[in-house]
Amino acid sequence: MYYMIHGIDADNSLEARLSVRPAHLERLKKLRDEGRLLLAGPLPAIDSPDPGPAGFTGSLVVAEFDSLEDAQAWADADPYMEAGAYREARVYPFKKVLP
């Protein structure tokens, strides 16, 4: 089943994000290569594809996991969590309807 992971950034998270971004992306690429990633991306803090120093408010990942517990464990082990870029990672079941 798919699960939506909403990583919610801590205040002033940009430096922490940048410090572990390569490791964060590697985990997403692994999900992609396994055919489990539906979509992933950051949530800019301002209405711009490149928010610059304004940074981000969080991230959205929708991926396939065996259970809610597995999805939460994956989210909790994210480098953004470990570096303090995320203050929280919320996970919800997700039912893909379109496209």
pLDDT at 41: 98
- Which position has the token pair 């517990």? 69
Residue 36, SS3 per DSSP: coil
Q: Indicate the average pLDDT of the chain.
A: 97
Cβ atoms 31, 5 nearer than 8 A: no
Helix (H, G, I), strand (E, B) or coil at 4: strand
Tens-place pLDDT, residues 17-64: 999 999 999 999 999 999 999 999 999 999 999 999 999 999 999 999
- Give the pLDDT score at 16: 97
- Strand, helix or coil for residue 15: helix
Q: Six-digit token pair at 27?
A: 């985990």
What stretches of the chain show up as alpha helix (H) in DSSP?
14-33, 68-76, 79-82
